[in-house]
Amino acid sequence: MNETFSVIARDGAARAGVLRTAHGEVPTPAFMPVGTKGTVKSVDPDELRALGAGIVLGNAYHLHFRPGEELIAELGGLHAFMGWDGPILTDSGGFQVFSLRDTLLEVDDDGVTFRSVYDGAPERFTPEIAARVQERLGSDVAMCLDICLPAGTDRSELEEAVRRTTLWAQQQRDLPRAPGQLRFAITQGGLDGELRRRSSEELVALGFDGYAIGGLSVGEHREPMFDATTEAAAFLPEEKPRYFMGIGDPEGVLEVISRGVDMFDCVLPTRTARTGSALTREGRLNLRNARFARDQRPLEEGCPCPACTRFSRAYVRHLVNQQEILGLRLLSLHNLRFLLDLVAAARRAIERGEFLSWKEEALEGAKGAM
């Protein structure tokens, strides 16, 4: 069993598997907490491990500008730098470049020119730079540079994005990698089935270690997005891992798993914490609400996270209202644990062959948590 990825159980289109990386194995489906700037905001690596995180995401765009991949390489690579010895996936920076649309200057067949979000200076990303940054960071999974466009983009522009995304993946494929580093390509095409098929076929023909479904969860309606995910996953090879970029609400996560997705990431658990909200089985709780002032229950009954085992809703509410750092931290720890536990439970349900009925039950309560 030395394959990079094996599927160990299937239930409908949903799969449970194992991704093997240079820094260990990742059971899938896997939720990847986002550590954009080399940290999952306010959570340290031991805490992440204890919460059940098996892989974290870093961001080539931000780390390239601050503090720079050469500095990180000099200090032993991203694992050593951030004190996390488990698997790391790094995003190529394509998503940041194309989502910060007012910083975009020019796109051509060799790369993209944009203004850095840090100091406004003109900068360029090319497949060579994306490969080099991630090679220097030493991540376990590196992503290809791609063109991700917002919902509602017209077809000719989507078609051009698909063409260039393939061209760039081709350029990046054989460039130097960190030892054992896997490389995933990203399919594009928005909600257009024909373009998604073309993108998938072209990238699969080039041959990568895994494939991401990009260009969804970019502002379209949920139902067409889920339908497009079903299609996009089916265009990808059975034996390779599939990564849906940017989904982290309880319903979304379970929907993409049911459509054959193995990995996903989102800032939602920590971003939700920063707005003072907790994810629970009964929905999202806004701790700023006065009704929690005397509530002695934990955020979620039975949750084994550091917040729920020691503190009341009333106390967390007080911390949030006073903008105490501990309030943000407790909510981040709880929200990450909630999502990681949900995905671990999904995996067990797939193994038992009961995923669909389990999912319906789980979503009954979680609907309000979207």
Instruction: Show which residues are catalytic.
Output: 91, 265
Stretch near Zn ion under the rule CB under 5 A, chosen from 62-70, 82-90, 200-208, 304-312: 304-312
Q: Note the maximum CA span of the chain.
A: 60
Told to check if 178 binds Zn ion by CB under 5 A, we report no
d(Cα 35, Cα 90) in Å, to the nearest integer? 10
Nearer to Zn ion, 212 or 303 (CB): 303
Of residues 305 through 344, those in contact with Zn ion by CB under 5 A are 305, 307-308, 334
Could you give the strand order of the β-sheet that contains 104-108, starting from the edge strand earlier in sequence?
A: 104-108, 111-115, 122-125
φ/ψ (deg, to 5) at 295: -85, 110
Q: Tell me how far, at minimum, the Cβ of 337 lies from Zn ion, in Å.
A: 5
Cα end-to-end distance, the chain, whole Å: 38
Nearer to Zn ion, 215 or 298 (CB): 298
Using H for helix, E for strand and C for coil, what is the string for 202-223?
A: HHHHHCCCEEEECCCCCCCCHH
Nearer to Zn ion, 63 or 253 (CB): 253
Nearer to Zn ion, 10 or 318 (CB): 318
Told to check if 287 binds Zn ion by CB under 5 A, we report no
Q: Tell me how far, at minimum, the Cβ of 56 lies from Zn ion, in Å.
A: 19
Told to check if 218 binds Zn ion by CB under 5 A, we report no
d(Cα 138, Cα 112) in Å, to the nearest integer? 23
Q: Tell me how far, at minimum, the Cβ of 314 lies from Zn ion, in Å.
A: 15
CA angle 203, 208, 213 (to 5 degrees): 60
Interface residue with Zn ion among 303, 319, 331, 340 (CB under 5 A) is: 303
Nearer to Zn ion, 86 or 269 (CB): 269
d(Cα 344, Cα 348) in Å, to the nearest integer? 6
Told to check if 279 binds Zn ion by CB under 5 A, we report no
Q: Tell me how far, at minimum, the Cβ of 51 lies from Zn ion, in Å.
A: 10
Helix (H) or strand (E) holding 280: strand 277-280
Q: Tell me how far, at minimum, the Cβ of 285 lies from Zn ion, in Å.
A: 11
Residue identified by tokens 């459509």 is 259
By CB under 5 A, name the binding residues for Zn ion.
Answer: 303, 305, 307-308, 334
